[in-house]
């Protein structure tokens, strides 16, 4: 089987030296995962022939925030083909499932993103768990790299479209990042009741405003520590509200650029079951691009840092397996906990607990790693993807 291609995986026997099944911190040793018709049929001690041998198998990584990859930016090419290309780039870093992310743009262009994801899912593109709309309903005081002239309040037509899209479900999970303080009373509740997963981000909200949003059904926060009101001695802000809440999930960009690893460690230890690794990746991930534009603003890549001429960060050049390694090697988080932050926590955050565990009868959503924690393949929606470094598949 050629590497870096998708192939049907209705029936597979996968030998794993270690299997982290998502329910126990202790890995199962030397087992075979039997996959039939895209589901886990059995997990047994290793014996007999196998189709694939891996060092580590874990629940499939889920990236809740990926703006682009593989030289494709979702805001620049908003169609089903772009979704497939971005998903392919994400797989190189071990993401079995993604939420293609469309950032703040003109008017109602975000509706094209919802339609593109729905079309990609209908067309069988594997690993598309939903769509993430990051804006345009953000705080003008915390725009980050988002085009400030496109930031606007959440209107009645927006509400109708978002509620209908979530209820229809063809786009999968609809994750919406907004600034709670810029919404009208009851809007978050109505969105949440309709099935929209609402996160706070690019927000200057006070702790009191965050508490009100939580009561209305706020589910989490986007890129914790970044583009949000900070934790101070007398005003906890968005950061403090998230760290103190027991029910909120939070994405975090563990690249050492967006958040100091000491702060990543604080979040990981305070919310081990709710912190979600995200890449916030741009088209440079698994691509050749080193500079691009966001609404006419030039963005340059310097190592793993993406920024404009003023130094404003513009997404990240980060893969999920690199984020995982950083959690283990730089932050000192045990591997089972880091794996939960890459898979189980985001699965529960978007209401897909079926993707959080590798067990008999569950959908076969897996990420394969070598001993160095480099991604070597994924399995999602009945499709097996292997990278260039994956050992040869047995005949």
Q: Give the residue numbers of the binding site for Zn(2+).
A: 134, 202, 223
Annotated binding-site residue numbers for substrate:
145, 226-227, 234, 258, 313-315
Q: Rg for the chain (alpha carbons), in Å?
A: 20
Q: Which residues contact 300 (CB under 8 A, 6 or more apart)?
A: 290, 291, 306, 307, 308, 309
36-56 in b/e form (b: 16+ CB < 10 A) is eebebbebeeeeeebbbbbbb
Q: Which residues contact 313 (CB under 8 A, 6 or more apart)?
A: 144, 145, 226, 257, 258, 305, 306, 307
Q: How far is residue 36's CA from residue 10's CA, in Å, rounded to a whole number? A: 5
E-only strand ranges, 146-288: 173-178, 197-200, 220-221, 249-252, 275-277
Active-site hit among 63, 105, 280, 374: 280
CB neighbourhood size of 302 (10 A): 10
Q: Is 158 in the active site? A: no
Q: In DSSP terms, which residues pair with 250 in a beta bridge?
A: 221, 275
Of residues 162, 71, 63, 74, the one with CA closest to residue 120: 74
Annotated binding-site residue numbers:
134, 145, 202, 223, 226-227, 234, 258, 313-315
| Catalytic site positions | 280
């Amino acid at each position: 089987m050629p590497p870096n291609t998708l192939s049907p995986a209705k029936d597979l026997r996968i030998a794993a030296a270690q299997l982290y099944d998502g329910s126990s911190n202790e890995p199962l040793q030397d087992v075979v995962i039997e996959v039939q018709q895209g589901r886990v049929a059995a997990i047994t001690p290793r014996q007999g022939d196998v189709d694939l041998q891996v060092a580590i198998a874990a629940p499939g990584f889920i990236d809740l925030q990926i703006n682009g990859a593989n030289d494709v930016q979702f805001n620049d090419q908003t169609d089903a083909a772009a979704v497939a290309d971005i998903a392919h780039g994400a797989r190189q870093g071990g993401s079995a499932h993604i939420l293609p992310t469309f950032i703040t743009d003109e008017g109602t262009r975000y509706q094209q993103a919802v339609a593109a994801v729905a079309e990609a899912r209908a067309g069988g593109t594997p690993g598309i768990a939903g769509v993430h709309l990051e804006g345009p309903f953000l705080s003008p005081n915390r725009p980050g790299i988002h085009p400030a002239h496109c930031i606007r309040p959440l209107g009645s037509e927006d509400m109708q479209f978002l509620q209908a899209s979530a209820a229809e479900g063809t786009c999968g999970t609809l994750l919406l990042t907004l600034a709670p303080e810029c919404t009208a009373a009851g809007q978050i509740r109505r969105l949440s009741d309709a099935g929209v997963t609402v996160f706070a981000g690019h927000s200057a909200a006070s702790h009191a405003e965050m508490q009100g949003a939580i009561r209305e059904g706020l589910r989490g926060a986007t890129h914790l520590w970044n583009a949000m009101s900070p934790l101070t001695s007398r005003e906890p802000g968005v950061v403090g509200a998230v760290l103190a809440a027991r029910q909120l999930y939070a994405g975090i960009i563990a690249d050492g650029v967006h958040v100091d690893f000491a702060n990543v460690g604080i979040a990981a230890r305070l919310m081990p079951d709710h912190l979600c690794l995200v890449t916030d990746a741009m088209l440079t991930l698994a691509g050749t691009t080193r500079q691009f534009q966001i609404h006419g603003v030039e963005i340059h890549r310097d190592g793993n840092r993406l920024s404009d001429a003023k130094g404003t960060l513009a997404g990240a050049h980060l893969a999920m397996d690199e984020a995982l390694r950083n959690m283990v090697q730089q932050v000192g988080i045990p591997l089972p906990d880091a794996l939960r932050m890459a898979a189980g926590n985001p699965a529960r955050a978007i209401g897909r607990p079926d993707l959080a565990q590798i067990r008999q009868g569950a959908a076969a959503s897996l990420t394969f790693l070598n001993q160095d924690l480099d991604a070597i393949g994924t399995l999602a929606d009945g499709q097996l993807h292997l990278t260039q470094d994956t050992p040869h598949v047995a005949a």
